[in-house]
Amino acid sequence: MAAMLEVRDLTTGYTDVPLIADLSISLAPGEVVALLGANGSGKTTVLRAIMGLLPAWQGRVVFDGQEVTRRAVHERVKAGLVMVPAGRRLFFGLSVEDNLKMGGYLTWESRLLRERMAEVFALFPELGKLRTHLAGKLSGGEQQMVALGRALMARPRALLIDELSLGLAPVVVERLMPAVEKIRNLFGIPVLFVEQDVLRAVELADRAYVLDQGRIAMEGHPKQFAQDRRLIRAYMGV
């Protein structure tokens, strides 16, 4: 099957030294793929380059058969490529509902917004009860649900998630991670997610890449990763 997202020989960085070099990854329709790697290995940078928040120096980003390498961020979002950034970045002074509406900014049709919001509340029933609450007053786990919901409001055709578990207690993460799989199953969209916890990620993913200093060091299926646990730990610095 043709990939939904294809990153080919991507090279980029923040200074004049490349941080990501000749990186190639792909995401097939319906696939859940983990991007693993130690702190500072370049995971966030890869996602930002895919979104166009950071220009590609070399290489290509192809989304659903269309080259988007030089397209503006909002055009990629409009095409259905949507990211949930690390750290949630909500409007703390706005209600849950209003935060969700921000994600649906591509449509102003209130019927569509309501429909999409109902889908988000179906995925996260606890958010439905908090719809009028200020985002800033929610727990970390609830805020992360809002961040995911906001991304879903844009009707993504592929979702990039940066460290869902960042700053959350293990018990909260335990409840949140299945959302990745539910998103795939309910919305039928592929998900590329960055995660620190290797074992948890491998459990969820159909496939995983390990990034080491801006290069793909390993690629494989969960089973293979389970066998190579020591090797993975070496890359992850744990």
Ligand X SMILES: Nc1ncnc2c1ncn2[C@@H]1O[C@H](COP(=O)(O)OP(=O)(O)O)[C@@H](O)[C@H]1O
Which residues would be at the binding site for ligand X (CB under 6 A)?
14, 19, 37, 39-45
Residue 140: CB minimum distance to ligand X, A: 19
Contact 41, 213 (CB under 8 A): yes
154: tokens are: 């844009």
Q: Among residues 139, 182, 125, which one has the least CA distance to residue 159? A: 182
Q: Is 165 in the site for Mg ion (CB under 5 A)?
A: no
Q: Give whichever of 37 and 59 is closer to ligand X, judged by the CB atom.
A: 37
Binding span for Mg ion by CB under 5 A among 12-20, 36-44, 143-151, 178-186: 36-44
Closest CA to 102 of 113, 112, 93, 111: 113
Q: Which two tokens stand for residue 155?
A: 């009707």
3-state SS of 152-206 is HCCCCCEEEEECCCCCCCHHHHHHHCHHHHHHHHHHCCCEEEECCCHHHHHHHCC
CB of 72 to Mg ion, least distance (A): 23
Report if residue 44 touches Mg ion, rule: CB under 5 A: yes
The interface region with Mg ion, picked from 24-32, 41-49, 104-112, 127-135 by CB under 5 A, is 41-49
Beta carbon nearer to ligand X, 44 or 165: 44
Instruction: Using the minimum distance from each CB to ligand X, give the nearer residue, 26 or 45.
Output: 45
- Residue 11 CA to residue 115 CA, distance in Å, equals 40
Instruction: Give strand pairing partners of 61.
Output: 7
Binding segment (CB under 5 A) for Mg ion, from list 43-51, 57-65, 77-85, 212-220: 43-51
**Residue 147: which of 183, 96, 184, 74 has the closest Cα?**
96
Taking alpha carbons only, the member of 134, 150, 125 closest to residue 96 is 134
Least distance in Å: CB of 40 to ligand X?
Answer: 4
Residue nearest to Mg ion (CB): 44
At closest approach, how far in Å is the CB of 114 from ligand X? 36
Verify binding: residue 144, Mg ion, rule CB under 5 A.
Answer: no
Query: What is the size of the binding site for Mg ion (CB under 5 A)?
Result: 2
Q: CB-wise, 121 or 235, nearer to ligand X?
A: 235
Q: Which is nearer to Mg ion, 44 or 144 (CB)?
A: 44
Minimum distance, C-beta of residue 83 to Mg ion, in the bound complex (Å): 12
- CB of residue 217 to ligand X, shortest distance in Å: 13
Burial classification of residue 61, based on how many CB atoms lie within 10 Å of its CB (0-12 exposed, 13-18 middle, 19 or more buried):
buried
Question: Given the rule CB under 5 A, which residues bind Mg ion?
Answer: 43-44
